[in-house]
């Protein structure tokens, strides 16, 4: 499972110049148990940006990385990114890995940190967060929210490690990060296309550029074509 490894390397390059705070997984923030609505009058601030997962078979230790102000220090709306670099068990079964990627993506729709309302859709890399005044007063942090999310990811047996990165630093190149998120979605869509044997006419396929660019994708494409 190397389809996303170049994006992990690119992410590391984008964040390299920025100051980082590394946290270990600790006490998880309370899970509200279901989706919640935080009214504007109860909101401390909103963060708007992107959220996505990068899947790899490379060794990844559990870690929460905060780049910029933590939740308790933010007092105004701003930009945001949440990226999870997730190590999975790779046994060479592409179909199983593909199903696992989809299963991991669903995790964020079943994680409800109390006072931390996250809005996103399955068809977009966009992610917005609204944090309540009460949660800030109670001491919410990216470490506690991240610990809850990592706990949810690791309920999936094949997930080996998660590096969860939260970015609020206005000096971050959010434009490049969003381009990375878009490329990540394109690779996922191409993988979906290949694994479901939708179309094997390379000359007419609008995903050919991704198939050509991503290491191993074209080989998987032809392998599925032969087995179709």
The pLDDT tens digits of the residues spanning 34-78 come to 989 999 999 999 999 999 999 999 999 999 999 999 999 999 999
Mean per-residue pLDDT pooled into runs of 10, the chain (228 residues): 89 97 96 94 97 95 98 96 95 79 91 95 84 98 98 96 98 96 88 64 56 53 51
Count: domains in the chain? 1
CATH of the domain at 123: 3.30.1650.10
Closest of 183, 171, 194 to residue 50, by C-alpha: 183
List, for residues 15-33, the tens digit of each pLDDT value. Answer: 999 999 999 999 999 999 9
Domain of 153, in residue numbers: 5-227
189, 3 Cβ separation under 8 angstroms: no
Q: Around Cβ 193, how many Cβ atoms within 10 Å?
A: 20
Q: What is the pLDDT of residue 67?
A: 98
Contact between residue 101 and residue 9 where contact means Cβ atoms under 8 Å apart:
no
Q: Residue 152: how many CB atoms within 10 A of its CB?
A: 19
Could you say which DSSP state residue 114 is in? T
pLDDT at position 222 is 46
Q: What is the pLDDT of residue 93?
A: 73
How far, in Å, CA of 211 to CA of 8, rounded? 18
């Amino acid at each position: 499972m190397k389809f996303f490894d170049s994006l992990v390397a690119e992410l590391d390059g984008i964040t390299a110049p920025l100051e980082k705070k590394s946290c270990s997984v600790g006490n998880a923030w309370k899970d509200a148990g279901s989706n919640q609505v935080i009214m504007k009058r109860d909101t401390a601030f909103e963060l708007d940006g992107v959220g996505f997962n990068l899947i790899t078979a490379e060794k990844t230790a559990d870690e929460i990385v905060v780049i910029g102000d933590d939740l308790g220090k933010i007092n105004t709306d701003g930009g945001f990114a949440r990226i999870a670099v997730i190590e999975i068990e790779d046994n060479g079964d592409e179909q199983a890995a593909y199903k696992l990627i989809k299963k991991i993506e669903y995790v964020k729709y079943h994680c409800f940190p109390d006072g931390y309302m996250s809005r996103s859709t399955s068809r977009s890399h966009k992610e917005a967060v609204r944090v309540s005044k009460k949660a800030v007063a109670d001491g919410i942090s990216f470490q506690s929210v991240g610990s809850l999310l990592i706990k949810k990811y690791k309920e999936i047996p094949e997930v080996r490690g998660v590096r969860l990165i939260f970015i609020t630093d206005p000096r971050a190149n959010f434009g490049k990060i969003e381009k990375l998120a878009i490329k990540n979605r394109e690779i996922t869509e191409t993988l979906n296309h290949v694994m479901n044997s939708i179309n094997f006419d390379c000359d007419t396929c609008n995903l050919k550029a991704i198939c050509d660019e991503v290491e191993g994708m074209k080989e998987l494409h032809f392998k599925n074509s032969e087995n179709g």
